Amino acid sequence: MAPEVVDNERGTDAEIPLQVAEDFQEEYFTSYEDVEIHRLMVSDSPRTKAYADAINNNKHLFNDKIVMDVGAGTGILSLFMAAAGAKKVYAVEASGIGVVIQKVAEDNGFGDVIKVYHAKVEDISLPENEKVDVIVSEWMGFYLLHESMLNSVIWARDNFLADDGTVFPSEARIYACPCSLTSFYKEQISFWGSVYGFNMSAVKKYALKSKMTKPEVCLVPESDLLADPVCVKKFNLRWVSEDDVKFFQETTFVGITKPGSYQGLCFWFECDFDGIDYDEDGQAFGTLTTLSTSPFSPPTHWKQIVVVLGYGDENNQQMELTCEEDIGCNEDLNIGTENVGNSSHDKEEKLDIVNDNQESVCPEGQDECRTPNMPDGTFDEISRSSLDNRVETDEVVGWKITLAQCENNMRHYTMTVEMLDPETEEHPVPCSCPRPQCLIISKMLEKEEMENEDTDSS
Ligand SMILES: C[S@@+](CC[C@H](N)C(=O)[O-])C[C@H]1O[C@@H](n2cnc3c(N)ncnc32)[C@H](O)[C@@H]1O
Ligand SMILES: [Zn+2]
């Protein structure tokens, strides 16, 4: 494999040593050799059922078609496609688990339909440069992009998909919402108020600061959300480019709809599988399936990601969150009836926040781009009022999120969340907040869009 050259959005090009890039790849694929990860993914029924529904309810896309499963794992999605009538399924899996797929296919009567490539999708070629009609892949990580398997799906699409082909999922969206962290505060912070009869409140601020360095992968109850969720980023998977996922920055302002303690920002994602098409008479057929990892939906192994906010001055600090995925999972968390792991695909994820004034770029050759930020100084007790960070209905809050692929490990992202002052910062157009000027602009744009739609349809 040639050395990877990563184009840094902010200017410089960095040539990554071959060995470093390959070590990351190897580590990533080794993690998928663990059959437990696959059991957890397959038993995550909202996830797996969404794929089954998307395939079974859109047989017109699969029946008698040539399809590809990018990152086939144990082969479950390949089986769905074969059962839906595909004439050929290319199941591509780079990790050790790939050895099981052929036998799984044979045991289900699809030995002649499913052809296994036990290799990276970037390293295969199809017979006679054949093109596929559909690419299906489950590539999503925490806050959607962590793990960066999307780059491999984009590569497969650009090299193997027919011009009129379909990519499932077809659209992916990242959502954000201000939230309270009721049980988190109870279990992790307030806990320190009284311990074995001693007043250990001094630990609270220390605990909060350290939690601010590790965003939580947790289930946020719907009742903790303080506003209507906002879609902060949308990707059309048929056309998204590697550049689109290398770096992006979005500014968001929202109006509080439920008064409460503004203690965190909650992130999750949704994916659509749009199989709707129209016959010659203009009649629609096929369905749209949505896989949602939101607090409003049944829990999945991705859960939600929470960025724990500070208070007062700390709240206006720019924070930087980076992730590493090389830590074994040591804790099973209960979601619904299934015990699933603690992270995107059951590798415990560690996401770190560092202050803006700290070094943010990965030193060459290191498997992370984070600077540990242990709190310093004396830790005073946090008073009740400062813990409250109360927000009222219609109050506007804002933040800027930046996601940047790490230079020396494309599978990792640096996420920066900056809290914004709604009074002084410029709002985007359109803006989802209830400020009169933002409402007027949104209404005007909405009207314009409706008029355009009317003109188009007449
Ligand atoms: C999230 S798992 C999904 C497994 C399976 N499709 C399922 O739904 O249960 C992603 C799989 O993709 C594989 N993978 C990631 N990047 C790949 C690449 N570039 N080429 C081949 N396999 C890849 C991983 O090893 C892993 O098994
Ligand atoms: Zn606004």
DSSP code per residue over 181-212: -HHHIIIIIGGGGEETTEE-THHHHHHHHHHH
Q: Indicate if 147 belongs to the active site.
A: yes
Q: Is the pLDDT of residue 101 over 70?
A: yes
Q: Is the pLDDT of residue 215 over 70?
A: yes
Q: Is the pLDDT of residue 206 over 80?
A: yes
What is d(CA 450, CA 455) in angstroms, rounded to the nearest whole number? 9
Average pLDDT, the chain: 81
Q: 296 alpha carbon to ligand 1 midpoint, in Å?
A: 27
Ligand (nearest to CA of 396): 2
Q: 422 alpha carbon to ligand 2 midpoint, in Å?
A: 7
Lookup result for tokens 């017109």 = 60
Average pLDDT over residues 40-50: 97
Q: 398 alpha carbon to ligand 2 midpoint, in Å?
A: 9
CA 71 to ligand 1: nearest atom: 12
CATH architecture of the domain covering 5-444: Distorted Sandwich (2.70)
Lookup result for tokens 């770029």 = 361
Average pLDDT over residues 177-206: 93
User: Phi and psi for 420 in degrees, rounded to 5?
Assistant: -115, 145
Residue type present at position 373: N
Average pLDDT over residues 442-446: 88
Task: Say how many Å lie between the first and final Cα of the chain, rounded.
Answer: 55
The angle formed by the CA atoms of residues 224, 228 and 229, to the nearest 5 degrees, is 85
Check residue 19 and give its pLDDT. 55
| 282: alpha, beta or left? (left if phi > 0; alpha if psi -120 to 50) | left
Active-site annotation holder among 4, 93, 147, 320: 147
DSSP state of 225: B
Check residue 369 and give its pLDDT. 27
Average pLDDT over residues 311-339: 39
Q: What is the band of 180 on the pLDDT scale with cuts at 50, 70, 90?
A: very high
User: Phi and psi for 62 in degrees, rounded to 5?
Assistant: -115, -30
Nearest-CA residue for ligand 1 atom 10 is: 71
Check residue 370 and give its pLDDT. 28
Q: Is the pLDDT of residue 226 over 70?
A: yes
Q: Who has greater pLDDT, 214 or 190?
A: 190
From 97-101, 269-273, 359-363, 429-433, the region with the lowest mean pLDDT: 359-363
Q: Is the pLDDT of residue 7 over 60?
A: no
Q: Is the pLDDT of residue 456 over 90?
A: no
Q: Is the pLDDT of residue 87 over 70?
A: yes
**Ligand 1 contact, 114 CB (< 6 A):** no
389-440: pLDDT as tens digits? 899 999 999 999 988 888 878 888 888 888 899 999 999 999 999 999 999 9
**Ligand 1 contact, 95 CB (< 6 A):** yes
Q: 366 alpha carbon to ligand 2 midpoint, in Å?
A: 40
Q: 74 alpha carbon to ligand 1 midpoint, in Å?
A: 9
Q: Is the pLDDT of residue 371 over 90?
A: no
From 44-53, 96-105, 130-139, 199-208, the region with the lowest mean pLDDT: 199-208
Nearest-CA residue for ligand 1 atom 11 is: 71
Share of the chain above pLDDT 70, in %: 77
**Ligand 1 contact, 149 CB (< 6 A):** yes
Q: 38 alpha carbon to ligand 1 midpoint, in Å?
A: 10
Nearest-CA residue for ligand 1 atom 12 is: 71
Q: What is the band of 328 on the pLDDT scale with cuts at 50, 70, 90?
A: very low
From 123-132, 238-247, 278-287, 344-353, the region with the lowest mean pLDDT: 344-353
What is d(CA 230, CA 316) in angstroms, rounded to the nearest whole number? 21
Please state whether the peptide bond connecting residue 430 to the residue before it is cis, i.e. omega within 30 degrees of 0: yes
Average pLDDT over residues 52-71: 98
Ligand (nearest to CA of 423): 2
Residue type present at position 354: V
Query: Residue 404: beta bridge partners?
Result: 247, 414
CA 42 to ligand 1: nearest atom: 9
**Ligand 1 contact, 20 CB (< 6 A):** no
107-141: pLDDT as tens digits? 999 999 999 999 999 999 999 999 999 999 999 99
Burial (0-12, 13-18, 19+ Cβ within 10 Å), 136 = buried
**Ligand 1 contact, 73 CB (< 6 A):** yes
Share of the chain above pLDDT 90, in %: 61
Q: Is the pLDDT of residue 22 over 90?
A: no
pTM: 0.83
Check residue 341 and give its pLDDT. 29
Ligand (nearest to CA of 343): 1
Q: Indicate if 314 belongs to the active site.
A: no
User: Phi and psi for 190 in degrees, rounded to 5?
Assistant: -60, -30
Active-site annotation holder among 93, 138, 216, 395: 138
Lookup result for tokens 């098409």 = 277
